[in-house]
Amino acid sequence: MAMSNVVLLNSWASVFGMRVKIALAEKGVEYEYKEEDLSNKSSLLLKMNPVHKAIPVLIHNGKPICESNIIVQYVDDAWNKSPSLLPSDPYLKAQARFWADFVDEKMYAKKIWTTKGDEQEIAKKEYIDLLKVLEGQLGDKPYLTGDSFGYADISLIPFSCWFYALETIGNMSIEKECPKLVAWVKRCKERESVSKSLADSHKMYEFALQLQKKYGL
Ligand SMILES: N[C@@H](CCC(=O)N[C@@H](CS)C(=O)NCC(=O)O)C(=O)O
Ligand SMILES: *[C@@H]1O[C@H](CO)[C@@H](O)[C@H](O)[C@H]1NC(C)=O
Ligand SMILES: *[C@@H]1O[C@H](CO)[C@@H](O)[C@H](O)[C@H]1NC(C)=O
């Protein structure tokens, strides 16, 4: 069976997969979308990402590219037309990579919905502190590293899909704590590439509740 030129192996709730969808949409790349069942991975996924056996994987002309941020950079290089997702200036490019790396290391809020009581309060405070660091970086700029939407924004924006679930489960208001960050989320979602690539917030909330059940909470 002939394979399409560009194939994306993904799972709908993956924030990492959403990054790739946004990058492909920004570049206007058409592709075949394949939803993976992570409890029953396809032989194609195991063959294309034997190291991590994880989605997202982009397959371009039969060759796999793995790891979401690497895929986004690849998309920027391979479909070399404007808008460029990474700035060409070396310093600005390093800044964009710094924030994408920060997001990868820190944006992990699972503890808010897998704990209760004091432990949950600590997790909530840690998460808000983290969002405040991002809000500080944003300052009065429209986007994380400047005037245009790009790589750092793409790395972070999918996590906003979890905000509603975190606010509901954690009984907190992210907008009250980080108004500029929430305004940035709205600004990003005005782009079609973003709005059509993000999962629905209410579906993510249902997903979190299912996971809570699975973990026996
Ligand atoms: N660092 C990876 C993370 C990818 C990742 O965590 N993928 C998850 C789904 S969100 C996965 O496929 N996990 C495999 C599994 O659950 O067995 C990236 O940025 O692409
Ligand atoms: C696992 O996936 C294969 C196809 O990839 C399918 O034939 C099989 O029924 C699936 N098994 C389960 C338990 O869902
Ligand atoms: C939710 O938070 C508000 C304000 O911080 C507080 O007054 C209220 O008691 C909390 N509700 C629950 C169920 O914890």
What are 113-172's pLDDT values in tens digits?
888 899 999 999 999 999 999 999 999 999 999 999 999 999 999 999 999 999 999 999
In degrees and rounded to multiples of 5, residue 115 shows phi and psi of -130, 170
As a dihedral over the C-alpha atoms of residue 160, residue 163, residue 165, residue 170, rounded to 10 degrees, the angle is 150
Q: Is 11 in the pocket of ligand 1 (CB under 6 A)?
A: yes
pTM of the model: 0.95
CB-CB contact of 22 with 194 (8 Å): yes
Best mutation site among 34, 35, 40 for ligand 2 pocket (most ligand atoms within 8 Å of CB)? 40
Which stretches of the chain are assigned E, i.e. beta strand?
A: 6-10, 32-35, 57-60, 63-66
Distance between Cα 134 and ligand 3 center (Å): 25
Alpha-carbon separation of residue 181 from 122, 143, 144, 189 (angstroms)? 21, 10, 10, 12
Distance between Cα 171 and ligand 3 center (Å): 6
Closest CA to 112 of 212, 192, 34: 212
The rounded mean pLDDT for the chain is 95
pLDDT at residue 49 tops 80: yes
Domains of the chain, earliest start first: 6-78 (3.40.30.10), 90-214 (1.20.1050.10)
Task: Ligand 2: list residues with CB < 6 Å.
Answer: 40, 42
Residue 60 pairs in a beta bridge with 6, 63
Distance between Cα 108 and ligand 3 center (Å): 23
CB-CB contact of 15 with 72 (8 Å): no
pLDDT at residue 54 tops 90: yes
Best mutation site among 11, 14, 75 for ligand 1 pocket (most ligand atoms within 8 Å of CB)? 14
